[in-house]
Chain A
Amino acid sequence: MDALILQILNGLDKGSAYALIALGLTLIFGTLGVVNFAHGALFMIGAFCAVTLNRILTLSHTVIDETRTDFLGKPLQVDVPYVYDIFGESAGNAIIDWSVPLAILFAIPVMIAVGVIMERGLIKHFYKRPHADQILVTFGLAIVLQEIIKYFYGANPIPTPAPEAFKGSFDFGTMIGFDPNIIIYPYWRLVYFCFAVVIIGAVFAFLQFTTFGMVVRAGMADRETVGLLGINIDRRFTIMFGLAAAVAGLAGVMYVPINPPNYHMGMDFLVLSFVVVVVGGMGSLPGAVLAGFLLGILESFASMREVIDFIPGINQVIIYLVAIIILLTRPRGLMGRKGVMED
C-alpha cells in the first residue's frame, strides 16, 4: 500500500509535465489543426526564461568593502547584485531566492509573444498544406530554436534552485497515518503538481466559462460557421496558440528545479508528449490531461524493482508499449472525438 502511494506520487510530477505539454499540443491541434513538433521547444524556452530571470536578478557589480580585508590585507572586493541596490539586501536576497516562481510572471508575456509570432510568422502559411509538411516545418523550427538556445546558454544543464522554503522533502506518510520515513516526497514536486492542476483548471475554466472560450470551442467544432457569423475566429485561434505556448512555457519554468534545463530537454519531452496526445485522443483536452497523468504514473510503477525483476526493461518501454496497444485497439485514443484525424 505504501509503495503504491509512493509510486503514484512519484508519477505525478512527470505526469504533470506530460499533461501540461499535451494540453498545449491538443489546444493547438484542436483549434488550428496543426501538428506542432516545436511544442517541446516552447517548453524548453519556458525553462530558459527561468534561467534568464535568475541571471538578470543576479547581475552584479563589484564594490570595495572597506570593512573587510582579503588575505593580503587589501580591502575585499565583493559582487553586489543590482537587486540589492534597489530593494535592500534582505528583500533582494528573497527576490533572488524566489527567482523561479517569479519567472512565471516573466515567462507569460514572453511565451505569449513567442507563440503569436510563431503562429503569425510561420504556421499561418501551413494551414492548407498537408500534415506531413506541418510536421516537417515545425520540426525544423524546433531544431533552430534549440540551437539558438544552445548558442546562448551552452550545451550543459544549468542548475537553478527552487526557493529555500521548498527545498528538501517532507514525510507524506505520517500525514495520512503511515509509519514515518516510508513515504518521503520533495516539496517542490508537490508544488509542481498543484501548479499543474491550477493551470489545467484555469485553461478549462477559461474555455468553459468565458465568452471568448465559448467562441473558441465553437470554432473548434465548426470553424467555418463561426466565421460566417462574423466572428474573427483566426485572431482568436492565434491568441489560443499564444496561450498554448504559455502553458508549455510555464510547465518548463516550474520544471527547472526538478531537472536542470539543457537545450534538448524539449525534444526529450516532445516525443513522449506526442505519445500522450495520441493515447488521450487527438483533439480531446480532457483526454490529453488524463493520459498525461496516467502515463506518468504508469511509468513510475514500471520502474519499481519488483516490476523490473519480473519484466526486465519494462520501465524504458512502458509508455511506448501502452501507446502501441491503445492505437491498435482504440484508434481514437482514450477520449478522442469521432471524426478527428481518424484516417
Chain B
Amino acid sequence: MFGLEKKDASLLILVAVLTIFAPFILNPFPDGSALAQFNAGYPDLMQRFVIFGIFAIGFNILFGLTGYLSFGHAAFLGIGSYAAVWMFKLLSMNVIPAIILAVIMSGLFALLIGYISLRRSGIYFSILTLAFAQMMFALAYSVLTPITGGETGLQLALDDPRILSMASSTDGNIPVPSLFGMEMRDSTQLTVGAWKFTFNVGYYFCSVIMLVAFYIAIRIFRSPFGLMLRAVKSNQQRLNYTGLNPRPYTLAAFVISGMYAGLAGALMASMDPLAGAERMFWTASGEVVLMTILGGAGTLIGPVLGAGAIKYMENILSKINSDILHTWFAFLPDGLEDFIVTIIYPFIGKGWHLTLGIIFMLVVIFLPGGLVEGGQRIMQKLRGKSADTDSAKTEPAE
C-alpha cells in the first residue's frame, strides 16, 4: 500500500488514526475532574506534539541514519520561522507560500552549513554545527535586527504590505494565518457528557503535514538511499574503499533534515505568527537531540514518541504545584503526606527539567534504543520469546 511494505503501511495507518483521534485520546479525563490537568487534548499542546514530531523525524533522518550528531539543528527551525513570518508580512496570510519559502530557505542554509560541516565527522561535526547555530543566533539577536526583530522577535504589524491580501482584517485587527480562508486558530468543540473535545483547524493541518513528512521519512528509510546512509553510519571507511563517495549522501541527508526543521519552524509560525531568536539557541538544538534519543534514534516512530513525551512533560508536569500534590496525597496521615510531597516536589513544577534529565540519562545508560526499544523488550517479555527470534525488530541506534 502506498508503495510501502505491509508492516510500514500499517505503522503509517496507525499513526494516522492516532493523530486523527488525538483530541479524544489525549482527553481521557472528564472536564473539571481532579485528573483533568493530565489532559493534553487542547489545541496548543497538540499542535506542538506534531510540530516537534516533524522536527524530530527530520533530525532522525540525519542522526538516526548517518550517525552524524548535529548540535545546531534549531538554527534551521529559526530560519523557517523567520521566513514564514516574512511571507505573512509581505505576501499574504495564506500558510502555503510561507511554508514553501521556509522549506526552501532552510534547505539553502542547510546546504551551505552542511557543505562546510560535513568535511569533518564525529565530535568535530557536532562542534561545527553548534558553532554555526550559535553564530546565527548571535547575529539574529544583534546585528540582523532589521530582518529578525532582534530581542523582541519578528512580529506582524498592521502596516505590513501583504500584497496578495488585505493588510488588516475587516474589524481592523492583524489578520491570522489561514489556509484559503480557514483560519488556523478556529476550533470546534464537542461536548459529550462531562467530556469536552476540541478540534482545531491548525492541529489538523499540522497533522496532515506530519503524516506526509512521516510517509516521506519511511520511504527514505526503506530506499537504497537510506541504505547508503546506514552504510555511512556503520562503517564509512569501508564505504570509501568500495569507491563510493559518501559526502553527497550525507549532504543530502543533512539538507533533507534541515528542510524538515524549516517546515516545523514554518508551522510554528503559522500557528502563532511570531518568530524569535531564542528558537535558534543551542538548548533548542539540544531539545531535539533529547527527543530523538528518548524515543529511539534510528527507528521510525521513536522521534515522534520522544517529541510527544517531552512536550507532554514540559506542559503537564510543569503545571503541577505543591497544592495539587497535597490534594493528591491528602488521604495519607499528615506527616507522611508532607514527607512524600517534599520528596516529589523537586521533580515537578519548575523542576521538570530535573525529571527530564534523569529520564534521559537512564535511557542513554540502560536503553540506548530509547522508548521504542523499551516497548519492544516489554513486548518480548509478554510474549515470552527470546530476543533473537524477534525479526520485526527495528535496529536501535548504536
Contact = CB atoms under 8 A, between A and B. Distances in A.
B213 to A, nearest CB: 24
Interface string A97-136: 0000000000000000000000000100100011111011
21 contacts: A131-B122, A132-B67, A133-B368, A135-B126, A136-B360, A140-B357, A140-B361, A144-B357, A144-B361, A147-B353, A274-B127, A275-B127, A275-B130, A275-B131, A313-B138, A313-B139, A316-B142, A317-B138, A323-B128, A324-B128, A343-B121
Given A136-B293, A313-B143, A341 B123 contact: yes
B297 to A, nearest CB: 9
Contacts of B143: 312-313, 316
A35 B134 contact: no
Nearest to A145: B357
A326 to B, nearest CB: 10
The 5 closest A-B pairs by CB, nearest first: A313-B143, A143-B357, A316-B138, A147-B354, A140-B361
Contacts of A278: 123-124, 127
A309 to B, nearest CB: 12
Contacts of A202: none
Contact of B119 (A142, A274, A328, A341): A328
A137 B124 contact: no
Nearest to A317: B135
A148 interface: yes
B286 A139 contact: yes
A132 B132 CA distance: 19
Interface string B110-138: 00000010011111101110111011001
A143 B360 contact: yes
A-side interface mostly: helix
Contact of B142 (A129, A313, A320, A328): A313
Residue in B141, B286, B361 whose Cβ sees the most chain A Cβ within 10 Å: B361
Nearest to A331: B120
Given A313-B143, A323-B127, A271 B282 contact: yes
A59 interface: no
Interface of B: 67, 69, 116, 119-124, 126-128, 130-132, 134-135, 138-139, 141-144, 282-283, 286, 289, 293, 346, 351, 353-354, 356-358, 360-361, 364-365, 368, 397-398
Interface string A290-326: 0000000000000000000000110011001101100
A71 interface: no
Given A140-B364, A148-B354, A316-B143, A324 B134 contact: no
Contact of B123 (A122, A135, A323): A135
Residue in B127, B289, B293 whose Cβ sees the most chain A Cβ within 10 Å: B127
Contacts of A135: 69, 123, 126
A150 B351 CA distance: 8
A26 B190 CA distance: 60
A143 B353 CA distance: 7
A208 B50 CA distance: 56
Given A313-B138, A313-B139, A144 B358 contact: yes
Contact of A147 (B135, B141, B351): B351
A148 B353 CA distance: 10
Contacts of B116: 324, 328
A132 B141 CA distance: 30
A144 B357 CA distance: 5
Contacts of A131: 122-123
B134 A271 contact: yes
Given A316-B143, A317-B139, A141 B361 contact: yes
A333 to B, nearest CB: 9
A75 to B, nearest CB: 36
Contacts of B368: 129, 133
A320 B353 contact: no
Contact of A321 (B121, B135, B282, B361): B135
A151 interface: yes
A293 B116 CA distance: 26
A327 interface: yes
A148 B347 CA distance: 10
A330 to B, nearest CB: 12
Contacts of B120: 327-328, 331
Contacts of A144: 354, 357-358, 361
A159 B195 CA distance: 51
B142 A35 contact: no
B394 to A, nearest CB: 18
A16 B357 CA distance: 30
Contacts of B67: 132
A282 B128 CA distance: 14
Given A137-B365, A143-B356, A148-B354, 16 more contacts: A131-B122, A140-B358, A141-B357, A143-B357, A144-B354, A278-B124, A312-B143, A313-B138, A313-B144, A316-B135, A317-B138, A320-B131, A320-B135, A320-B138, A324-B131, A331-B124
Contacts of B353: 143, 147
Contacts of B286: 139
A274 B116 CA distance: 19
Contacts of A282: 123
Interface string A251-295: 000000000000000010001001100100010000000000000
Interface string A331-343: 1000000000101
A272 to B, nearest CB: 9
A126 to B, nearest CB: 8
Given A137-B365, A312-B143, A313-B142, A320 B132 contact: yes
A274 B69 contact: no
B247 to A, nearest CB: 14
A274 B130 contact: yes
Interface in A33-67: 35
B122 A341 contact: yes
A327 B128 CA distance: 8
A327 B131 CA distance: 11
Interface string A62-88: 000000000000000000000000000
